[in-house]
């Protein structure tokens, strides 16, 4: 249990889809008291036992200490008025809306005490995620970091461009890695392994290698070379991946496409605001 979480509430979650739900799951596991959480979602379905769940923002209540926006970016206009009326100068507004810039949020919610953007990825549900942060929360920086700490690695962006780049790598990255795992499993089946066995081996191999890379003082490039004996099987495989820098070029194009779409979404959000 993370003792810091016991003092984090009240927390309101406006929207509780896959990402916000993953964050809430981990917070509750780490010791966040469910009675300090209010979820506002159209379905009214409680995401966890003990969590107050409403179909609309409550009226006439004291502003929450933290309000997290987890709706789809295109839905921001539908909830912005009610959110703006519900928050106050003691509210830290945390937005996980992709492509919605800090300036847009400040225009929408001028009454918030502080506004910060957060870009988590889905492994936060296991406490092994990454959360990129951008904004100025002043004296409440430690409070925000304590809230995000149970989710995994927390990294601050120096500016909004860097925040978008971090989102393309770490926010979108799990989907790209899932594609890689799937491709490795398919390749294993193609050389003769049973498909289910290849899938298990691929997932376990990536899990172990990622843990080793995270724990090692050596770079992944050096770790790869340590596995590969001259003239051996691993080296032959690496020669294919390294040929003409094809793998790096592919991943650079992949991240660039994701980052470019983030900038396009930001422009669309500015037009809507």
pLDDT per residue of the chain (273 residues) written in tens, 0 to 9: 454 676 677 999 999 999 999 999 999 999 999 999 999 999 999 999 999 999 999 999 999 999 999 999 889 999 999 999 999 999 999 999 998 999 999 999 999 999 999 999 999 999 999 999 999 898 999 999 999 999 999 999 999 999 999 999 999 999 999 999 999 999 999 999 999 999 999 999 999 999 999 999 999 999 999 999 999 999 999 999 999 999 999 999 999 999 999 999 988 888 876
Q: Helices marked H in the chain — which ranges?
A: 18-29, 76-86, 102-108, 141-148, 160-166, 173-190, 195-215, 220-227, 233-242, 246-272
Give pLDDT tens digits for 8-53. Answer: 779 999 999 999 999 999 999 999 999 999 999 999 999 999 999 9
What pLDDT, on a 0 to 100 scale, did the predictor assign at position 271? 80
> Cα–Cα distance between 109 and 79 in angstroms, integer?
11
Give pLDDT tens digits for 58-73. Answer: 999 999 999 999 999 8
Angle (deg, nearest 10), helices 233-242 and 246-272: 50
> Cα–Cα distance between 33 and 27 in angstroms, integer?
9
pTM recorded for the entire structure: 0.91
Could you give the residue range(s) of every CATH 1.10.3730.10 domain in the chain? Answer: 173-261
What pLDDT, on a 0 to 100 scale, did the predictor assign at position 1? 47
Could you give the residue range(s) of every CATH 3.40.50.720 domain in the chain? Answer: 3-160
CATH no. for 173-261: 1.10.3730.10
Q: Are 94 and 154 in contact (CB under 8 A)?
A: no
What pLDDT, on a 0 to 100 scale, did the predictor assign at position 273? 67
CATH no. for 3-160: 3.40.50.720
**In Å, how far are 17, 107, 109, 153, 253 from 246, measured between CA atoms?**
36, 44, 45, 29, 11
């Amino acid at each position: 249990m993370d003792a810091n979480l016991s003092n984090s509430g009240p927390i309101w979650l406006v929207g509780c889809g896959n990402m916000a739900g993953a964050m809430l799951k981990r917070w509750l596991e780490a010791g966040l008291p469910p009675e300090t959480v209010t979820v506002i979602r159209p379905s009214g379905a409680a995401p966890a036992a003990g969590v107050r769940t409403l179909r609309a923002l409550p009226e006439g209540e004291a502003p929450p200490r933290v309000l997290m926006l987890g709706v789809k970016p295109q839905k921001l206009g539908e909830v912005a008025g009610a959110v703006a009326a519900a928050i106050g100068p003691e509210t830290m507004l945390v937005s996980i809306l992709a492509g919605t810039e800090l300036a847009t949020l400040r225009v929408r919610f001028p009454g918030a005490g502080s506004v910060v953007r957060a870009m988590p990825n889905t492994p936060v549900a296991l406490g092994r995620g990454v959360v990129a942060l951008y904004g100025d929360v002043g004296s409440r920086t430690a409070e925000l970091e304590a809230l995000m700490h149970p989710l995994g690695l927390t990294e601050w962006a120096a500016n909004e461009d860097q925040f978008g780049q971090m989102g393309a790598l770490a926010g979108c990255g799990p989907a790209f890695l899932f594609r890689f795992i799937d491709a490795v499993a398919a390749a294993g089946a193609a050389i003769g392994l049973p498909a289910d066995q290849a899938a298990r081996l691929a997932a376990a191999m990536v899990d172990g290698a990622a843990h080793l890379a995270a724990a090692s003082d050596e770079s992944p490039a050096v770790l790869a070379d340590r596995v590969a004996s001259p003239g051996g099987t691993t080296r032959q495989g690496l020669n294919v991946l390294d040929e003409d820098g094809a793998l790096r070029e592919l991943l650079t194009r992949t991240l660039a496409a994701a980052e470019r779409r983030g900038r396009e979404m930001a422009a669309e959000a500015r037009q809507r605001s």
